[in-house]
Amino acid sequence: MSKKILIYVDAENCSVAKFDQFVEESSKDFDCHEYVVIGKFYGNHSVLGEIAIRCMQEGYEYVDTFMMNTSNKNVTDMKIVVDCICLLYTSDAADD
């Protein structure tokens, strides 16, 4: 049975170079036959650029964090935290 690795990326605060470095380093640590990577990247579509394309190339799911106010502070961070908490309490992951 494959083990799952969840990777949630704050794409508003991540460069393509840093993402590529992470993907390269993590691929050395995890055997693709033993692990399944489930990735999501978060951000407002109006501010994402090349990082969105790169994440999609790796098969990551896009989660739009629309602007709730003019400052848009911490919306993406809060969405990632809420999704992690929901996943923890609604899946079998906590039992593994």
Look at the pTM and tell me if it is higher than 0.85.
Answer: no
Question: According to the model, what pLDDT value does residue 50 have?
Answer: 92
The single-letter DSSP state of residue 37 is E
Neighbours of 59 (CB within 10 A): 9
d(CA 18, CA 24): 10
Mean pLDDT by 10 residues, the chain (96 residues): 82 92 83 79 88 93 80 81 88 57
16 touches 51 (CB < 8 A): yes
- Partners of residue 24 on adjacent β-strands: none
Question: According to the model, what pLDDT value does residue 92 have?
Answer: 66
Specify the 3-state DSSP secondary structure of 14: coil
Question: According to the model, what pLDDT value does residue 6 have?
Answer: 85
d(CA 95, CA 64): 29
